[in-house]
Amino acid sequence: MTAVAAVDLGASSGRVVRGVVTDGRVHVEEVHRFANGPVHRRGSLHWDLPGLYREVLAGLRLAGEVDSIGIDSWAVDYGLLDASGELLGDPFCYRDSRTDAIKPADGLYEVNGLQFQPFNTMFQLMAEPLLPQASQLLLIPDLLSYWLTGERGAEYTNATTTGLIDVRTGQWSPELTRDLPPGLLPALRRPGDPAGTYDGVPVIAVGSHDTASAVVAVPAETDRFAYISCGTWSLVGVELSEPVLTAESRAANFTNEGGVDGTIRYLRNVMGLWLLQECLRVWDTELAPLLHEAATATGSVFDPNDPVFLPPGDMPGRIERWCGKSMSRAEIVRSVLDSLALAHRDAIADAQRLSGKEVEIVHVVGGGSHNELLCQLTADACGLPVVAGPAEATALGNVLVQARAVGAAHGTLADLRKLVRRSQALRRYLPR
């Protein structure tokens, strides 16, 4: 039996799980869970990295004896280190408004293959006051890994979300990094590479972009599948072996992010359950009773990807203004779910059209796979069967890549996915 600890940090909560791989199965047990969220400081939105690190250490203590440790988190955000290796300032949260006015330069997509998001690291760096003092940049999981081990590196899947990697070579692009201080970006490491030790335990680079780890644990039986990694964001797309860099793909705002084992995660960011999370925060209420009412409520459809919904704030008000009417809470919840289901459908249709890959089944993984109404509405909108689960896909993907690195799991992504299928309860929704 091999046990590993997976640290999985999401924008609204973090967790440490103990993962066990044995007899061709994989199980995870959550040993520590803690809240996370952007913190307002001096008029900007930041993350409390020292606080998150304390929670990581507490979780690792609770995980007990393990054979390795792996860390993943949301993408694009980073900390800057000074020449002595100390963190310079509080890392910014990607929802901070300082990049609102950014416009992408021409010709970027052909090199980095990334959809335009104002918060991509390369744009954050254009607005970064501390850049002149910085000697190195570490993405969030790499920063925590550095604090654990003293070793620095840039894990590849997450590095592709910076916008500074050439998608054709898989290396830092000399062209796109030309204006950055020399040495700012550390050497790349791939999922499965060693990343130092903590207390004698190996730390392994996993798919440190949470979405890369989630896609590893999609329990697909066929390669004709689409996935929706559904949490704070819905990341909707297909797995490819080559990037799609056409003008149509750029115009449709599809991204080619680096996946585990050299795959391409060809997807679109859909605003996701953030819309509901912010409503619930404003209303100071629980979701379950509202979902019950929403099942029979009538909603209005809005574009969940309108940038007005990106920052934290009065979400119910923004939705009502978009739809041009006032609504009950249940109607707002229904509007969010109907709008997300349609955005899921559009992204899956576009992914197929732009990549030429045909899809016969949709896998919903992540916390959103528990949302029965959203899964059913997604199946209805797509006209395809939806398989929901596992909810802990990200942690499972993190565990599986570690397990393979320490010799407890073997083979390709298809082999790792078989372990997930064998051990996790899944639920099927047929289109109505």
- Residue 235 Cβ, how far from ligand LFR at the closest point, in Å? 5
297 binds ligand LFR (CB under 6 A): no
**How near is the Cβ of 284 to ligand LFR at its closest, in Å?**
24
| Residue 148 CB, nearest approach to ligand LFR (Å) | 21
**Of 92, 147, 233, 302, which one interacts with ligand LFR (CB under 6 A)?**
233
Return the range that interacts with ligand LFR (CB under 6 A); candidates 1-9, 168-176, 199-207, 232-240.
Answer: 232-240
Q: Which is nearer to ligand LFR, 146 or 233 (CB)?
A: 233
Pick from 9, 71, 75, 217 the residue near ligand LFR by CB under 6 A: 75
Kindly determine how many residues on this chain lie close enough to bind ligand LFR according to the rule CB under 6 A.
13
- Cα distance between residue 396 and residue 409, in whole Å: 13
CB of 324 to ligand LFR, least distance (A): 29
For ligand LFR, the closer CB: 211 or 339: 211
CB of 174 to ligand LFR, least distance (A): 25
**Separation of alpha carbons 420 and 397, rounded Å:** 9
The smaller minimum CB distance to ligand LFR, of residues 14 and 299, is found at 14
- Binding mask of the shown chain, residues 82 to 121, with x at each position contacting ligand LFR by CB under 6 A: ------------x---------------------------
- Tell whether residue 225 is a contact of ligand LFR (CB under 6 A): no
Helix 274-283 to helix 315-323 angle (10° resolution) is: 120
Partners of 323 in the β-ladder: none
Angle at 93 between CA 44 and CA 170, to 5 degrees: 140
Give the binding range for ligand LFR (CB under 6 A) out of 1-9, 50-58, 208-216, 407-415. Answer: 208-216
Cβ–Cβ under 8 Å, residues 409 and 363? no
Catalytically annotated residue among 67, 96, 210, 338 = 210
* Of positions 28, 165, 203, 235, contacts ligand LFR by CB under 6 A: 235
Is there binding between residue 269 and ligand LFR (CB under 6 A)?
Answer: yes
- Number of C-beta neighbours around residue 40 at 10 A: 11
Among 60, 76, 230, 315, binds ligand LFR (CB under 6 A): 76
Residue 2 Cβ, how far from ligand LFR at the closest point, in Å? 27
- Name the CA radius of gyration of the chain, rounded: 20
Name the residue nearer to ligand LFR (CB basis): 257 or 320. Answer: 257
**Closest alpha carbon to 227 in 387, 112, 336:** 387
**Alpha carbon distance 116, 250 (integer Å):** 8
Q: Which of 26, 70, 74, 350 binds ligand LFR (CB under 6 A)?
A: 74
Among the listed ranges 13-21, 35-43, 189-197, 209-217, the one in contact with ligand LFR (CB under 6 A) is 209-217
Task: State yes or no: is 210 an active-site residue.
Answer: yes
Burial class (CB in 10 A: 0-12, 13-18, 19+), 324: exposed
Distance of CA 75 to CAs 56, 116, 137, 184, Å? 18, 14, 14, 18
What angle is formed at CA 63 by the lines to CA 59 and CA 69, rounded to 5 degrees?
A: 85
420 binds ligand LFR (CB under 6 A): no
Select from 124, 211, 339, 398 the one that contacts ligand LFR (CB under 6 A).
211
- Compare residues 10 and 304 and give the one whose CB is closer to ligand LFR: 10
Q: Which is nearer to ligand LFR, 219 or 258 (CB)?
A: 258
210 binds ligand LFR (CB under 6 A): yes
Shortest distance, CB of residue 411 to ligand LFR, whole angstroms? 26
Distance in Å, CB of 10 to ligand LFR, minimum: 6
Catalytic residues, by residue number, are 210
- Residues near ligand LFR (CB under 6 A): 10-11, 74-76, 94, 209-211, 232-233, 235, 269
